[in-house]
Amino acid sequence: MSTSLLIPGVVVIQPISYESFMIMKVSKVVVQKRSKYQNIEVVELSEYGKALVLDGLVQSTEVDEYIYHESLVHPAMITHPNPRKVLIIGGGEGATLREVLKHSTVEEATMVDIDADVVEICKQYLPELHSGSFLNTKARVVIADGKEFVEKTSDKYDVIILDLTDPYASEIAYELYTEKFYRRIFEILTDDGIMVTQAGSSFYYEEVYDRVLSSIKNVFPIVKEYNVWIPSFGYACNFIIGSKRYSPDDLNPEVVDKRLRDRGVSTRFYSGRTHIALMNLPIYRRRRSTTS
Amino acid sequence: MSTSLLIPGVVVIQPISYESFMIMKVSKVVVQKRSKYQNIEVVELSEYGKALVLDGLVQSTEVDEYIYHESLVHPAMITHPNPRKVLIIGGGEGATLREVLKHSTVEEATMVDIDADVVEICKQYLPELHSGSFLNTKARVVIADGKEFVEKTSDKYDVIILDLTDPYASEIAYELYTEKFYRRIFEILTDDGIMVTQAGSSFYYEEVYDRVLSSIKNVFPIVKEYNVWIPSFGYACNFIIGSKRYSPDDLNPEVVDKRLRDRGVSTRFYSGRTHIALMNLPIYRRRRSTTS
Amino acid sequence: MSTSLLIPGVVVIQPISYESFMIMKVSKVVVQKRSKYQNIEVVELSEYGKALVLDGLVQSTEVDEYIYHESLVHPAMITHPNPRKVLIIGGGEGATLREVLKHSTVEEATMVDIDADVVEICKQYLPELHSGSFLNTKARVVIADGKEFVEKTSDKYDVIILDLTDPYASEIAYELYTEKFYRRIFEILTDDGIMVTQAGSSFYYEEVYDRVLSSIKNVFPIVKEYNVWIPSFGYACNFIIGSKRYSPDDLNPEVVDKRLRDRGVSTRFYSGRTHIALMNLPIYRRRRSTTS
Amino acid sequence: MSTSLLIPGVVVIQPISYESFMIMKVSKVVVQKRSKYQNIEVVELSEYGKALVLDGLVQSTEVDEYIYHESLVHPAMITHPNPRKVLIIGGGEGATLREVLKHSTVEEATMVDIDADVVEICKQYLPELHSGSFLNTKARVVIADGKEFVEKTSDKYDVIILDLTDPYASEIAYELYTEKFYRRIFEILTDDGIMVTQAGSSFYYEEVYDRVLSSIKNVFPIVKEYNVWIPSFGYACNFIIGSKRYSPDDLNPEVVDKRLRDRGVSTRFYSGRTHIALMNLPIYRRRRSTTS
């Protein structure tokens, strides 16, 4: 007999895929709002602490958000030898911004989120996630459509981080996963610039993932995939780096650790050894062999 | 709006932890039996194919069992330079046996499972998993209590693989996760022998995991942990190696790949690069820092 | 703390309405088949015994099917003083046929079900439901589209019983809930004939129910609604009688009991008192007052 | 294919019985509090409106609470020809009080609830339920243990209404379902007094129900059971009347309607006809015949 029993009450039913779901116990609902773009909820999950939930999908939880945000931000930031100007599209929780600002090389970090309500709610109810990053003098927060922002900007960035809702989850982020968009990202990167995007699940949504991957390959000379299990997502989240000059594969653990140290970056998940692990772990696929 | 909807019908509700659960769509129930020890079910899950379910917990599925079984078997087998005699406790599906027998160095592989019904049902209904390994002339299948078997045996083994139900899941396997048991395992290993056990989830069941880990540390001079996300489990499964002489950390990708090649082992997930990834990926913890 | 805990394992998730669902523990899956028309499953539910499930919706269970079938059949049959020729559309389990054949006045009972697979599976796996009624010499089973059957028949019936899947559940039964269909039913009833249909839930699907109700009112001079809670459905099931001459409201308990006795009908739920209860209980409505 | 799909997000999983559960979509969580006695939640359920949930069990919802409260209060109140002094134990929502105060014969209605937090939260967040009844000059609200209150009181009551959590749900109400308690209730009733208790589900919890029923039969000369389906409970709720002189079976619809009219009681579910229905509907039983 199993030791786990489902104790009735309020729960979140979260889709993992087309026909797999995760049930998580809710101990408290902190705030709920229907914004112009999505349903926004801040809840306390009994096993994961406070969590931001958009359209029924967990985005970040107190307990494991560091795994997601460190895996999203640091491989690209560390691969670049001197990232000074950084652009974040999405990332309303402010946790991606928090990780970017840990790098002392950064002179300006611009975060562009389409949904002012998400940013406001995170500011007010999720200080555990942004840790004051919104107040950092190097930070600039813009409420705008990411696509329009990158079309209009005349700035150039060393690193661009796309921290969006899943490519298959909704229509909000759809256009930010297209080749056309990546071409514009390429244009507004410096000559040695690098971008990274979260890319949902290659295991459960293989076709969508492959489309995103090949779009990035069509644009960038150096492309690198990696994936990391995020407990509260119920799956390993994929990330794709597109780079003009530097490859994350060229770094050894010592270089990674030195750069972290030199820039004053302290982490809980990411390190030189983690970098090596992420860059060598097979990409999960449901249908195809993973070692090809 | 999310693209995933829960279509009503027959599902499995599987515990991931104390208060997190996974719902998986069942397309067919192939066979169900209450054995002396546990509820045995072979079902077809719409997203994972045929699956063995013991007491409501997915043990192996057609789609992702190779990730689990390759991760359990090959790091220990490859770390040993010449594994000839191998003992498997548990592993009724025959898939662990299948992976062990891929190594041409193996002269005898003994599999000891307590539950004859599990073995019979897997033989009959899950050829996808055992792939005929039960018929291999090097294979010996013993129906016995693993604890009693290791107490009585006068044989010595190069590699011992513990492929048991989770340490917190039931009472069947409880005594096979104790220091007393590991001391006996140590005794029946050759002087350069190595053992590995699956160890459930360090993230969700930290205390149980820590007890297992420290028991192994009390017995073996070389101990190595690693964890791998298994999609149909809903979490990253932990493994712990206890070794007398050889360490998996001492292998580089080239050596791993050479040994695989020399022994004629073909794999889908495990490789030299995967070995490096597994040995460097942080162990997931809910409460403590993972990089300590 | 609640005394009920959800023990993980195989369950059925059954829709009650648009946004309410019922979870029922499955102890065994007896047979599953995809027919030309629907998914057919016979399962054992731990609290309701053997059950027929069509497209994920429980149709009948061992434990409470008598409540449904007695409520469907006897009010109409008893309201008619001498039902000799009876037509059943649907009712593949054979349980409606079983109840009809209890009335000694019946000389011929014709059952028309569209799905030969349902009838075959029920015959073989659910003897608890049909109790041999298929073998009764007064019974005639026709595999045909109910709509086509009534269009073509030149027979006349005293009582017609429509035992269909819910009017909102699928497309199979859709045309058997229309005014056009009821007009044809009216034509093939004798001059004092009476029909009854199950009609799903007036509480959860008020608009669909009202459409069915007004269609019957447009055709029959005497119309009577009633509803009965069916535990394994999770709601009170509605029934609507359309009658040419006799009204169920005109019977007192003594007359009902005498007719049951005279015809040799033994029941578990229906009786003279039950008849009075059903004919006086308010119809459940979500939006409108129920006593109007 | 079914028309109902479970849209992921926040839901309540409510036990119906040992192995049946109901999932209801939550559109908003209004307030949550852990009181000394229980978990108190006010939520908005998408299909049932605002609801009071205690320990994961729905007590009352905006959409169907009138069915429960009218069925609890009016049969006993109408059976008594002149109820002037009424005692309610439990009923923190104030809706039972609301129904009692509709009877113009009532001079004093005393409500005793153990949990001040339930009463306060209902006052503040559920005006739809109490409709101002707490402010009625005939109403007296006492925060006290119902058992201690009835032991100490020297008053006599014409009608006593026990509006408690289910007899099997928790330990709070346990002692208010015992023969000892009913003996004391008998003592503090006037010579023609009448009591009624809600009694959970006779179908799903037959043994507990039978114990309660026989306790009441051991104390009162006239005992009457009835049951009513409450949609948001997922089952038919049972009620038991214990009476010293008057029987609800002796009333015909005309008398019921006249008393309602004379006392100025307007209702949505209960009426003379409903009274007849409730008093004649079989009691649902899972194992035994219901018509005995």
The answer as to whether D269 is a domain residue is: yes
Query: With an 8 Å Cβ cutoff, is C222 touching chain D?
Result: no
End-of-domain residue from the set D41, D59, D77? D59
Please report, to the nearest 10 degrees, the dihedral formed by the alpha carbons of residues C102, C103, C109, C111 taken in order: -50
Residues C86 and C30 in one domain: no
ipTM confidence score = 0.94
Residue with tokens 């540390």: B217
Cβ separation D274–C282 shorter than 8 A:
yes
In the numeric block, which tokens belong to residue B94? Answer: 């025959």
In the numeric block, which tokens belong to residue A5? Answer: 């029993």
Residues C254-284 pLDDT 10s:
999 999 999 999 999 999 999 999 999 999 9
End-of-domain residue from the set A58, A75, A94? A58
The answer as to whether A79 is a domain residue is: yes
Residues D75 and D207 in one domain: yes
Residues B100 and B118 in one domain: yes
In the numeric block, which tokens belong to residue D220? Answer: 């009162």
Mutate which: D5, D12, D13, vs A, most A CBs within 10 A: D13
Q: At what angle do helices A65-79 and A253-262 cross, to 10 degrees?
A: 100
Is the pLDDT at A106 greater than 80, yes or no? yes
| Contacts C4 to A, Cβ<8 Å | 8
**CA torsion through residues A179, A183, A188, A192, sign:** positive
Report residue D157's pLDDT band, with 50, 70 and 90 as the boundaries.
very high
Residues A37 and A172 in one domain: no
Residue with tokens 């602490």: A49
Cβ separation B6–D4 shorter than 8 A:
no
Query: With an 8 Å Cβ cutoff, is C267 touching chain D?
Result: yes
pLDDT over 70 percentage in chain D? 96
Cβ separation C5–A2 shorter than 8 A:
no
Q: What are phi and psi of C34, to 5 degrees?
A: -95, 110
- Rounded distance between C-alpha atoms, residue C52 and residue C126, angstroms: 8
Amino acid at C125: Y
Residues A99 and A18 in one domain: no
Residue D4 is predicted with a pLDDT of: 58
Residues A146-200 pLDDT 10s:
999 999 999 999 999 999 999 887 777 889 999 999 999 999 999 999 999 999 9
Residues A96 and A165 in one domain: yes
Residues 32-91 of B with CB under 8 A from C: 32, 39, 41, 43, 56
**How many domains are there within chain A?**
2
Residue D289 is predicted with a pLDDT of: 46
- Cα separation values, D202 from C49, D90, D210, D287, Å: 18, 21, 8, 10
**Subunits that touch chain B (at least 3 Cβ pairs < 8 angstroms)?**
A, C, D
Q: Nearest C-alpha of chain B: how many angstroms from C134?
A: 29
Amino acid at B159: V
Cβ separation C5–A7 shorter than 8 A:
yes
The answer as to whether C106 is a domain residue is: yes
**CA torsion through residues C89, C94, C98, C101, sign:** positive
Per-residue pLDDT of chain C (292 residues; tens, 9 = 90+): 344 566 678 889 999 998 899 999 998 889 989 999 988 999 999 999 999 999 889 999 999 999 999 999 999 999 999 999 999 999 999 999 999 999 999 999 999 999 999 999 999 999 999 999 999 999 999 999 999 999 999 999 999 999 999 988 777 788 999 999 999 999 999 999 999 999 999 999 999 999 999 999 999 999 999 999 999 999 999 999 999 999 999 999 999 999 999 999 999 999 999 999 999 999 999 875 444 3
Q: Nearest C-alpha of chain D: how many angstroms from A34?
A: 11
Residues C35 and C156 in one domain: no
Residue D29 is predicted with a pLDDT of: 87
- Write out the catalytic residue numbers of D: 163
Residues A6-35 pLDDT 10s:
667 889 999 999 889 999 999 888 998 999
Residues A28-55 pLDDT 10s:
889 989 999 988 999 999 999 999 999 8
Is the pLDDT at B249 greater than 60, yes or no? yes
Residue B290 is predicted with a pLDDT of: 44
Residues A37 and A99 in one domain: no
Q: Which of C8, C10, C15 sits opposite B8 (nearest CB)?
A: C15
Q: Nearest C-alpha of chain B: how many angstroms from D5?
A: 5
| Contacts C69 to D, Cβ<8 Å | none
In the numeric block, which tokens belong to residue D51? Answer: 């609801």
Residues B28 and B41 in one domain: yes
Residues B53-97 pLDDT 10s:
998 899 999 999 999 999 999 999 999 999 999 999 999 999 999
Residues D28 and D167 in one domain: no
Catalytic residue, chosen from B113, B158, B163, B166, is B163
The answer as to whether C251 is a domain residue is: yes
* Closest by Cα among B284, B62, B26 to A236: B284
Q: What is the pLDDT averaged over residues A94-102?
A: 98
Residues A240-291 pLDDT 10s:
999 999 999 999 999 999 999 999 999 999 999 999 999 999 999 987 544 4
Query: With an 8 Å Cβ cutoff, is C19 touching chain A?
Result: no
Cβ separation D39–A9 shorter than 8 A:
yes
* Closest by Cα among A73, A29, A70, A36 to A53: A29
- Rounded distance between C-alpha atoms, residue C276 and residue B75, angstroms: 75
The answer as to whether D292 is a domain residue is: no
Domain CATH number, residue C166: 3.40.50.150
How many other β-carbons are positioned within 10 Å of the β-carbon of residue A6?
22
Distance of CA B41 to the CA centre of its chain: 19
Domain CATH number, residue A20: 2.30.140.10
Residues D40 and D104 in one domain: no
Is the pLDDT at B29 greater than 90, yes or no? no
- Rounded distance between C-alpha atoms, residue C40 and residue A88, angstroms: 51
The answer as to whether D2 is a domain residue is: no
Report residue B2's pLDDT band, with 50, 70 and 90 as the boundaries.
very low
Residues A79 and A177 in one domain: yes
Query: With an 8 Å Cβ cutoff, is B6 touching chain C?
Result: yes
Residue D169 is predicted with a pLDDT of: 73
The answer as to whether C2 is a domain residue is: no
Query: With an 8 Å Cβ cutoff, is C153 touching chain D?
Result: no
Residue with tokens 């109700």: C213
DSSP state, residue B6: B
Residue A48 domain boundaries: 11-58
Q: Which of B22, B25, B281 sits opposite A234 (nearest CB)?
A: B22
Report residue A5's pLDDT band, with 50, 70 and 90 as the boundaries.
low
Q: Nearest C-alpha of chain B: how many angstroms from A57?
A: 8
In the numeric block, which tokens belong to residue D144? Answer: 């006290």
The answer as to whether B5 is a domain residue is: no
